[in-house]
Structure 1
Amino acid sequence: MRVPSDDVVQIRHADAAGEPTVVTVSCTDKTGLGCDLCRVVLLFGLSVVKGDMSTDGRWCYIVLWVVPQRGRYIVLWVVPQRGRPVPWDLLKNRLVELCPVAAPFGFDSAYLAAAGLQDAAPPAPRLFLIKLCCFDRMGLLHDVTRVLCELELTIRRVKVSTTPDGSVLDLFFITDTRELLHTKNRREEAQDKLESVLGDSLTCCEIDPAGEDMSSTLQAWASLTPSVMDQMFNTDLIAEQSISTKGDLISVTMDNSLSSVHTLIQIQCGDHKGLLYDIMRTVKDCNIQISYGRFYASQNGRCEVDLFAVQLDGKKILDQQRQRALCCRLRMELLRPLRVVLVNRGPDTELLVANPVEVSGKGRPLVFYDITLALKNLQKRVFLAEIGRHVVEDREWEVYRLHFAEEHELPSSLRRKIVDGVTSMLMGWD
């Protein structure tokens, strides 16, 4: 099978400390490519401070000026310590893997696709189960999550339980970005890393393929109550609660007068971690194609975005109802891209975080990492945890549920501190 040349991705490093690194992608276009590239940039702990993109529908040219996220000095594939460099070669490899292969000279890619001659979509990655038995301690769940991120093991589902005597059983359903976990060497590498971090507290570490019976258990989890659903997904309530917060100054407008063939979408808003990814995944899920776009984040925390867009049929967005729906969707995704609530569940306190899932089935990366890091910083022990998928009004969400075993109800000030701490970590406001 043909592979794309690494020439499609070029990385030019900054001339001086503090200046952005320039990532240039020039390749055959495909639907959602901008979203996929922004997801990987976010995964590597980088923020886009400026961006330009253009396409004629066949070939695209994308330039991103990136800097390490504030407070996150390195990407998560290495131990997080101040001064560690970003692994640019690995980033380049991951970006190259996303780029389609150009059709041979004299052939049209659309013709090849219609004839079934293009490279087939890659098969779904194999699912594995990591079973950990250990003694509980502060920050345990985050430390395990960090190791899995370092190893490029993607967490698909989690079930964590703690017994009264302090023993912990962690079940991580994962896939391997390198697709090597079926080999003995790769499994031993993962086990050695986990043992080095958990030390004597680890009593059992097993890595096995997840059978169909195990995979079916991923869907067997408690449903969300109507009150919780209302808190997390009622857009009117969310907008009302968000007044006078960091995300309230959001402007999304459309203009059909400046171009004869494109609709101009203009966005002005406050910056947050993964902002460009949130915009690109939203237009992708709404079946909008970007012909030309530019993005700029100023030092005062404000961002400006211009997108010249068309519908899938190549026409301007003229329908007023569709314009309003798209503007409302973009405002909500920028106002609250992730939903964070703290509720009572019997005698326990439960933290719920909802992460929107793209139509492709992928979601924002490192959400569980950020949640567990925030809780570790807040000195909160996690008694139970699980990750599952939930469909709300035809949209799929990945919902993270974490229980704190409290002997008494948390005061309102501490509850607000937990919600604000987790939200700030997810949004890059910490």
Structure 2
Amino acid sequence: MEGQGDNTFLEVDRDEEVVQVEAHVSGDSADVSISCSDATGLGCDIARVIFNFGLTVYNGDFSTDGRWCFVMLHVRPCFGSPPCAKNWNLLKKHLLRFCSSEKTLKSSAGPIGHKKFILQIQFQDQIGTLHNIIHCLWEADLVVHKANISTSPDNKGMDMFYVSDNLDKLPKQSRINQIEEMLAKRIHSDLKVTCIAYPYSRLSKNASPRLLTGTKDCKDSRSSLPMMRTLSNRERNGSRRSSVSSQEGFDILPRFNVAEIFQSLKVNADNLVSPTQTVIHIECPDRKGLLYDLFRITKDIGLQISYSKISLDMKLCRADLFVHEAEHHQKLTDEMIEFVCAEIKHAITSSIPVKVQNRHDAGSSTAVLQTEVVALAPVDSGFRGRPRVLYDLTATLNQLGVSIFHAEMYAVELSGDGREQDKRYQEVHRFVIQDSNGKSIGSNGDLEVIENELYSRLIGSGAGPRESSKPQFANLLNLLDYGIL
């Protein structure tokens, strides 16, 4: 790993550590080493934590002997990452939740399912408040599974977050008070926080089509798109992948044309290197969440990774994955290779479609024009939403000086053949936005700028706004070009 000669050790007793985080003298990067019990999907859980902290992996090695997993990563914050990205002790704490030692493995009673609660926050709204709340909830170790954000005509915010508590302290009043104090320090407004348990009956019945995302780790979950069954289904009905339900109106969302951005994308397989493993070679420009998406899709389709090596050089990511089909422990056939390569390409290039558009509110007798932002994100095998989407969306809108009048976050079921094991889900983020005068965004050029900036922040690979399409209102003049992260 690069730079290992100039490290300041955060942990002294290395022999007993399952997770070690060694910060470099500058404090701007760190080496992460993990030695723990292995499970299919553990790589996705680890990559998820790294991504959730706003970190990029510059070099990485994952290996397993079938029972024990060994991981070495060199990480640095992405551009625009929150200050907590370099809180290395907090990073270690989060990684330890997924990584079991020999001792904890023997004493473990199985995965813990966190209860869900409705956290209601009332406050005086202003531009940027929602983003500050999202940041506070993350710092408080809460996971948002669904959200409904609204603003009254007198500018009062009434936000409802459906959350689980990683510390398992809700609904204790002391925990609610702690969250309220953290929020008050950041948003500088009179506020009130209340918390009630989310009815278990509603979780089990799934009465609403707008679902809560889950809490299960990938290592404790079944693959959501197992390769053998998917290939069998494709032969039966000719369908590769379910589309988003048209009743939600998402079929109008275009996939971004990323052919130019990812023109150097290469994904191929080699069955000659190893007698028991298929080697998948991947080469593409780096972007935010790339490692997470690679490990997420391998878990989704039922691949087990025996060894992987990741390197980042001049914004070009190279990855070699030694894999086999997890259920039958076999090398990949030609048909499997075609399927795997297609799924990996899809995961790299099509993670988050986003659209900004003006539309008439069908529920209004005066057909008021409103500006709507819709972003879609994949749900992993543990039914968890993609990290940082809500954070990045609100951060970008805040930086652009755009106010959020209404927002929702929830999961929806994708259309399929009706069988429970073949159901697919996606996370939806909807925003109704306004300019600083409380009006919709009227200019097509302004809509394009906002869309480009949102996509650039989410994926880290946008082309950035063109000079000719800069908005006319003042708060949008100082735009950020995020580039490829």
TM over 0.5: yes
Partner of 2:442: 410
Q: Check whether the contact 1:270–1:303 (CA below 8 A) recurs between aligned residues.
A: yes
* Matched positions, count: 396
String of CA shifts for 1:348-395, please: whole Å, max 9, x gaps: 121111111111112321210111001101111111111111122442
Partner of 2:458: 426
Partner of 2:222: none
The residue type paired with residue 143 of structure 2 is T
Partner of 1:243: 259
Structure-2 separation of matches of 1:218 and 1:144: 28
Q: Check whether the contact 2:209–2:412 (CA below 8 A) recurs between aligned residues.
A: no
Superposition deviation, residue 208 in structure 1: 2.5
In 2 relative to 1, CA 217–206 (structure 1 residues): closer, same or farther, beyond 3 Å? farther
Q: Check whether the contact 2:357–2:447 (CA below 8 A) recurs between aligned residues.
A: no
Q: Is 1:50 matched with 2:63?
A: no
Q: Check whether the contact 2:144–2:162 (CA below 8 A) recurs between aligned residues.
A: yes
Query: Please, what TM-score do these two structures have when normalized by structure 2?
Result: 0.76
Structure-2 separation of matches of 1:207 and 1:259: 55
Q: Check whether the contact 1:133–1:169 (CA below 8 A) recurs between aligned residues.
A: yes
Structure 2 residue runs without a partner (length 5+): 1-14, 212-243, 361-368, 417-422, 462-481
Partner of 2:41: 32
Superposition deviation, residue 103 in structure 1: 7.5
Structure-1 separation of matches of 2:290 and 2:76: 14
Q: Following superposition of structure 1 onto structure 2, how do residues 383-402 of structure 1 map, counting pairs within 5 Å? A: 383-392=405-414, 393=416, 394-402=423-431
Q: Moved runs in structure 1, 4+ residues, more than 6 A? A: none
Query: Please, what TM-score do these two structures have when normalized by structure 1?
Result: 0.85
Q: Check whether the contact 2:18–2:100 (CA below 8 A) recurs between aligned residues.
A: no
The counterpart of 2:278, out of the listed 252, 263, 269, is 263
Q: Following superposition of structure 1 onto structure 2, how do residues 160-309 of structure 1 map, counting pairs within 5 Å? A: 160-202=149-191, 204-212=192-200, 219=208, 221=210, 225=246, 228-232=249-253, 238=255, 241-244=257-260, 246-298=261-313, 300-309=314-323
Q: Check whether the contact 2:210–2:412 (CA below 8 A) recurs between aligned residues.
A: no
Structure-1 separation of matches of 2:20 and 2:150: 45
Quote the sequence identity (%). 29
Q: Check whether the contact 1:29–1:57 (CA below 8 A) recurs between aligned residues.
A: yes
Structure-2 separation of matches of 1:218 and 1:352: 23
SS in 1 for 2:264: coil
The residue type paired with residue 273 of structure 1 is K
Q: Is 1:98 matched with 2:87?
A: no
Partner of 2:380: 358
Q: Is 1:128 matched with 2:160?
A: no
Structure-2 separation of matches of 1:270 and 1:424: 14
Partner of 2:471: none
Q: Check whether the contact 2:209–2:413 (CA below 8 A) recurs between aligned residues.
A: no
The residue type paired with residue 384 of structure 2 is K
Q: Check whether the contact 1:385–1:402 (CA below 8 A) recurs between aligned residues.
A: yes
The counterpart of 1:145, out of the listed 116, 120, 134, is 134
**Please, what is the CA RMSD of the aligned residues?**
2.6
Q: Check whether the contact 1:231–1:341 (CA below 8 A) recurs between aligned residues.
A: no
The residue type paired with residue 78 of structure 2 is Q
The residue type paired with residue 238 of structure 1 is R
Q: Check whether the contact 2:376–2:429 (CA below 8 A) recurs between aligned residues.
A: yes
In 2 relative to 1, CA 403–221 (structure 1 residues): closer, same or farther, beyond 3 Å? farther
The residue type paired with residue 64 of structure 2 is T
